Structure 1
């Protein structure tokens, strides 16, 4: 019966449910695997398509900007620009005007080469003017703008310069890096049109997507939609995390592609980012995951609904099995447990007339008959045990009586009247203790007291040859009820067998120790008679004490304690540290009621 309590998974109910799950689980797992595999494949295809799309857009922007750079670089050797930059002072007004108009037409060619070019400007310090491709061909020279755009850049890796939130590509002549920081003679710049870039990125996006073109050096953001500060912040964080994962900058010059999921405007977005090493910029496109993965997510919800439906079916099946089989089975098992615990006045009701109804009827009939048999067997067992206990205890008294009369005989022969008086007083008190009728148990404190009386009696026999030491009783054990005469036979054995031939310095120590719920009473002597063979023989006789009721001394005590407390208690015989015998008697402090024996509970304080 205890098996069902300890192993719930071994019950019939659990076996049926687990079998049902064992059939469904592989089918469900296969279906789930196929669904997940299909979803992942579709997701990967969508992401790959978006990566290709972003890479195409980056290539389009790169090709336009590269074409502009290739057109403007050769103009540093333009004849009209060189004349205006170095010889404008000696040119006539007509020559100067013709040169300016010719230069403007060339700048117009650069502007019309790409929709991303807003204006092409030639800064000419010698002329103190700027020539542009816009309608106002000649403007006053802007020293601040000229100095800001004259910085050194790598036109093929980081071509852009940011000035007053405007984006420029600058070609100074001569290059300050090649001439030790010399001020340029002229400066050709191309202003990139942010509205044109924004308009182009709007064409890149659809279905609520947002595109962001961001630069590293300089730092700038161009978004396809106005008011997309959250997208710019997300791109900034994305770039920072990418830089922190590449602290050495090993991949700085190469094109990087980043794919990540971020939250923007309270909605989850998939970000596909492609870096351009030529522009030192990154194009990021934010796509709402709900729109691109919507059909996949809806299919996932259908799988979830299928899973919940399966769980409901399994629960319904389990509850049905529980009501039909498990509930009456548990009632029957609990009834058997109660019978096992001794409840034989049990009647179990079951309303149905099925197989369980037959089992319950037979169970009630079995309990009624078992009740009669148990009472008969219990009464017989109790009487046999009680007779054995009294017979074993009665054997101790004559053994001690023989020894006492022998000591009294010796003192009488010596005419030691004073000690005879003391001895007979101790002997009278002791026999008054052991001859009390109806006392099979007594407090441990009283047992120790009369054991001390016994050692006082033995002192007449051995004199100064042997002295006895008693340890203190552990707190709370003084009123522990124990069988009478369990300590005196252990001390008597030490006197008669361990120390009888000891001529001097003999001792017996009686100690008490709590070990959990067990009280250990140890009696040890320093006798010289014990050897390995003797100890082995004693242990063998101790094991056989249960089979014979005619043994005396140590073996009687061992048998009586085992009858009282069970097989885990009794005597243990060991070799003491001083070479003598150490007898350890183990008594339980706490024990539940078990048939015919009640062990008192000790207050541990």
Structure 2
């Protein structure tokens, strides 16, 4: 996990608790606001319903006062002059009392009195025509919504009858002393609802059923009808008071119902919750915007840290990886206008110093290897010389002058080849030709073996150390073929592989036992030669010095019966 990821995770870990605490605080705030709104609206509804009930009570009060008025009681008992001025004065006095009470209430209503004994009908609506059947047909001892015509215009009104003495049965009304009808127009309630709505964004209405609803003059009737359709009010108005959250057109509203204790109606109010919570929601959105801004600023800060710290550190790490992979010529080319530029310059200076130092060390190592190879090569020259001189002595004793002359010529060519000290390397074909010349001489001496040589053309020009191949042939002849009685055989095969080369020499000599072969491998692998047999050890170590650790010589049993010597090196 890099630095930028850790910084962003740290910012997120800091913001998550803040967001959680704010979400909890927001829910608590909304809960408190809803409780306060519920309390306020319940009190407001109760106060408003009380005003409606007071208006109804004022109309009921007139009925109670009328039954106590002496003049009204007198007429109710039948003491009404039949005609003349006295009758007119009584009727005019009663009419004045009705009008005075209607004006005193300052409400729109119609008050009517009917005296069954004298068949007298009085009303505050001067345009009304008394029809006894229609009058008694709408009789109700409780407030009920009716259609009342005023000046020929039908209007909605709450109507109620008062009889003295009281009569519950409409059929016995004609036995009453007087009957009072009060028509309380719903416009009075509409006016109150308009005043109620001015105190907020609510839509209040007076409700009894879906067909009996009193709205304010500015009510959103479409929204109220949708409310009544989606949420039947009967299940709410059956309770004395109720509140809930409802959804209309995807918006949330607070619903309140308060049942009247005097009439079979309920006051219903809906308030848009979104409008109420708008300041809180605005504050929440502002907080989220600030939180998002902090997150963006934190991400920006982390990005700046990444580009100004993490990226330079990665550049330095990549440079160190190049140095680790021995690419000492690598240099940082990036330019920074900060403290990292000094680190880059120091890194480049360090790489340059290491490169120069390693070049000097490499040069010294090359010179050291050349000295070692010359020393190893010098070990071969006397070893080979001793064998040739011994052979020449033996041939001279046997008066075999041709062999002595041939050996002398071969020895002269050999030292002519080996004394060229201007270079320590030659081509593989030159080494093979020297080995073939040597085998011809030895075969002339022994006259008991044959050889084959199969080298691919692509391998003939490969550079190898001088005198690296002749000791292997010599070992195969001296320690292998000389010890057998039958004819000997030597094979030389060059093999090219995808990643390297192999040069295999096999003979059909007696070979070595498994223990002797393992002992010889151990001697060859030793850093220092403690044996007098230096040929194979010399070849193995010269090969490793020249081609590196992934090269050398392998010894194994040959399918021909003798020893198998394999030189291998990479391309």
TM category, shorter: 0.3 to 0.5
Structure possessing the higher radius of gyration over alpha carbons: 2
